[in-house]
Structure 1
């Protein structure tokens, strides 16, 4: 299905890619503000000059980190969408992917919610990058729900977004298996609201 389109992946210089991958790991594992420039440079095995040549500032790297997280998820969902032309099957596949995130080893919650929590100003570029990701995901859910005949696809997409947020937060702070199961149930209930229309 063409509903999921990942951004084009650009080939980066090896040092730039290494810095991005290092930030992806450290920012998620330890928190964005907790990881300083010197730590990033050392862990990336680059010089300070190389870091500033490619990213210019930590703030720019953080925005690139959020965009990279979005790219990885978008690519995963795009690959899933290639396997089916059935919107119901794709919606269930997305539910499985989301539930699997919550119980994955090293899970520390939603990287987008984590980033938003560290940047309180709504107009900050990091917050805008987070919002772009959330709007993209909401649009996918709403479109699929509309395609399967849900009577209120926008409201249902809102419900699934909130359920996802809750599962991501609760799965990290508490019982990840229970959170994953609850998210799966929410997807199932949402789909069931449209099933009579699908059958018709």
Structure 2
């Protein structure tokens, strides 16, 4: 990805990335061509290629934007300095809020992985890196909740999240989020040392 010499992205680059992010997420990546992005961003093809060397480069920038937003979501949950279990619950509430938001179309990374199944493709690799970071982060949080090994519980949490995000754009998001949050409560209760989490 090309970097801006002044340290801040140009207006054209921001417009291109914003347009691509919106369309890639709502309609899919392979179905959207460069001409569509250029037209909706109101820039020339030359301008696009001045900022992104290829469509793949633009896709990777889109995923980087989503990655940063997810990291900010986690940072916000952690920033309140709550006990670990409460932090996990706060993160879960934030995930549920996203599922309930207008225009929700599932997990951008799982969607991208479905379109780029080759494990050696840079887009697929970006998905793996993001998901490993998320698993590691949840594992670290859950290590502060209970005395049993945290990674199995973290994998359970990620599976709950993945299921909620897949179902949340197909069925009633309120019902899906209620099920997801109850699942997280049950996970925390099972993982926590006695007395650290109130019974459901």
Q: 1:50-100 CA deviation, whole Å, 9 max, x = no partner?
A: 100100100111011111101111112212322224222211110101111
Residue equivalent to 1:77: 74
Residue 53, structure 1, aligned to residue 50, structure 2: yes
User: Deviation at 1:174?
Assistant: 2.0
Corresponding residue to 1:153 among 150, 154, 174? 150
CA distance in structure 1 between the aligned counterparts of 2:115 and 2:39, rounded to whole angstroms: 23
CA distance 1:23–1:150, shift in 2 (3 Å)? farther
CA apart distance, 1:43: 0.9
The corresponding residue for 1:130 is 127
**C-alpha separation in 1, matches of 2:118 and 2:162:** 20
Report the Cα distance in structure 2 between the residues aligned to 1:154 and 1:186, rounded to whole angstroms: 17
RMSD, aligned CA:
1.5
Q: Residue 166 of structure 1 corresponds to which residue in structure 2? A: 163
Count of aligned pairs:
190
Contact 1:19 1:51 in 2 (8 A): yes
From 11, 16, 34, give the equivalent of 2:13: 16
Structure 2 unaligned runs (5+)? 1-6
1:104 aligns with 2:101: yes
Quick one: distance in 2 between partners of 1:195 and 1:94? 20
| Contact residue 142 and residue 156 of structure 1 kept, 8 A | yes
The corresponding residue for 1:3 is: none
What is residue 84 of structure 2 aligned with on the other side?
87
Greater than 2 Å deviation, 4+ residue runs: none
Secondary structure of 1:105's aligned partner: coil
Q: Is the 8 A contact 2:73 2:91 kept in 1?
A: no
| 2:194 paired residue among 154, 175, 196 | 196
Q: Which runs of 5+ in 1 are unaligned?
A: 1-9
Q: Could you tell me how far 1:198 is from its partner in structure 2? A: 3.1
Distance between the aligned counterparts of 2:87 and 2:63, measured in 1?
25
- The counterpart of 1:68, out of the listed 65, 84, 89, is 65
- In 1: Cα distance, 2:56 partner to 2:70 partner: 22
CA distance, structure 2, for counterparts of residue 137 and residue 185 of structure 1? 21
SS at match of 2:61: helix
How far residue 173 of structure 1 moved from its aligned partner, in angstroms, is 1.8
TM-score w.r.t. the length of structure 1 is 0.90
